[in-house]
């Protein structure tokens, strides 16, 4: 297993290197970072534009820009200069990454738990009222656009707060700017309160698709020969379901979850925008609006790293879920 992990990590290096080239080219050909400065009225002095071009390395050949960016990133952790001279892209990404990761990870965890439970129950009680109810809910959430569902939840939270005269649901920001209880427990409660609605908005969309995958995988496993043999040997239904069927049926869901991480990060951008979170989503939208090339490259590179890590975790989970899988 250790040899497999090391091999997979080394295999991820060329993938990550290729992603840096792709990210660099996409951003560099997306527009001029100094367009806003050049279109100002009255126009800035030519020397100011030349100084900004030199600071942003726009006066150098494309290959040299890429080499300097990659070298400084690998050796010094420097993501490059921002169009805002007072902003450190690395520090900004680090702070916002923590905000977004807690939203994505909690959403994934909740979505997986509900997807597994409802998927298994639907498969065991196939064509029952329960199965049809879960299927209806799954298709309902699948049909909802993530931005519309997030706005709907936010409006419902505001309406409930106004009707009850309380602050039950937090609808703006990832935390309160001023806290009465500034202790560790008070901060945890405040952060958890702000996570309720965004987590539901992001998690339910993923849950809908994952529960369908889990139901289909569970039905296939329950009809397999080795499960019939286990039942014929007299094993208890619960033991057959949990120990023999569920572990194997979780493998397709593991693959789908790893592949959907990129989509979840995209959904987090929309969710953070609706609830005005100061995470990676706001950072990306601000960078695109300001044509901040190195900031956009940093966001895309961080997203690529997250996707690679989750796919590596999924590969490692295969041997845990199914003892028949061995990596030599």
Give the per-residue pLDDT at 326: 58
Give the per-residue pLDDT at 323: 62
Three-state SS letters, the chain: CHHHHHHHHHHHHHHHHHHHHHHHHHHHCCCCCCHHHHCCCCCCCHHHHHHHHHHCCCCCCHHHHHHHHHHHHHHHCCCCCCCCCCCCHHHHHHHHHHHHHHHHHHHHHHHHHHHHHHHHHHHHCCCCHHHHHHHHHHHHHHHCCHHHHHHHHHHHHHHHHHHHCCCCCCCCCCCCCCCCCCCHHHHHHHHHHHHHHHHHHHHHHHHHHHHHHHHHHHHHHHCCHHHHHHHHCCCCHHHHHHHHHHHHHHHHHHHHHHHCHHHHHHHHHHHHHHHCCCCHHHHHHHHHHCCCHHHHHHHHHHHHHHHHHHHHHHHHHHHHHCCCCCCC
Mean pLDDT of 80-93: 90
As a whole number of angstroms, the distance between CA 170 and CA 225 comes to 51
Q: Do the Cβ atoms of 273 and 149 come closer than 8 Å?
A: no
- Domains annotated on the chain, with CATH: 2-23+88-321 (1.10.3720.10)
180 compared with 76, residue with greater pLDDT: 76
**Please, which pLDDT band fits residue 324 given cuts at 50, 70 and 90?**
low
Count of CB atoms within 10 A of residue 300's CB?
Answer: 19
Q: At residue 1, does pLDDT exceed 70? A: no
> Model-level pTM greater than 0.75?
yes
Give the pLDDT confidence of 297-317 residue by residue, as tens digits: 999 899 888 888 888 888 888
**Please, which pLDDT band fits residue 328 given cuts at 50, 70 and 90?**
low
**Please, which pLDDT band fits residue 327 given cuts at 50, 70 and 90?**
low
Q: At residue 156, does pLDDT exceed 90? A: yes
As a whole number of angstroms, the distance between CA 306 and CA 159 comes to 36
Closest CA to 274 of 157, 178, 106, 147: 147
Q: At residue 129, does pLDDT exceed 80? A: yes
């Amino acid at each position: 297993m250790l040899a497999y992990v090391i091999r997979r990590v080394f295999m991820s290096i060329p993938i990550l290197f290729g992603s840096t080239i792709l990210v660099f080219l996409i951003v560099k050909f997306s527009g001029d970072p100094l367009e806003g400065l050049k279109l100002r009225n009255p126009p800035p002095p030519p020397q100011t534009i030349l100084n900004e071009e030199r600071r942003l390395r726009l006066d150098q050949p494309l290959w040299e820009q890429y080499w300097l960016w990659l070298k400084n990133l690998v050796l010094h952790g420097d993501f490059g200069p921002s169009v805002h001279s007072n902003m450190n892209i690395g520090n900004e990404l680090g702070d916002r990454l923590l905000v977004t990761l807690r939203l994505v990870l909690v959403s994934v965890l909740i979505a997986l738990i509900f997807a597994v439970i409802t998927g298994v129950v639907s498969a065991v009680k196939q064509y029952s009222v329960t199965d049809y109810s879960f299927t209806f809910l799954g298709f309902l959430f699948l049909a909802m656009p993530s931005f519309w569902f997030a706005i709907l939840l936010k409006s419902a939270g505001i309406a409930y707060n106004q009707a009850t005269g309380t602050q039950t649901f937090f609808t703006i920001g990832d935390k309160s700017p001023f806290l009465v209880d500034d202790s560790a427990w008070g901060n945890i409660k405040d952060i958890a309160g702000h996570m309720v609605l965004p987590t539901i908005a992001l998690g339910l969309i993923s849950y809908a698709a994952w529960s369908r995958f889990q139901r289909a995988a569970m039905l296939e496993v329950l009809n397999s020969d080795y499960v019939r043999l286990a039942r014929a040997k007299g094993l208890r239904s619960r033991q057959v379901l949990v120990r023999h069927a569920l572990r194997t049926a979780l493998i397709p869901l593991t693959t789908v979850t790893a592949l959907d991480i990129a989509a979840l990060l995209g959904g987090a951008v929309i969710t953070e925008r609706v609830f005005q979170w100061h995470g990676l989503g706001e950072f990306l939208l601000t960078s695109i609006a300001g044509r901040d090339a190195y900031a956009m490259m940093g966001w895309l590179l961080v997203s690529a790293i997250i996707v690679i890590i989750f796919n590596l975790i999924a590969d490692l989970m295969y041997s845990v879920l199914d003892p028949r899988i061995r990596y030599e």
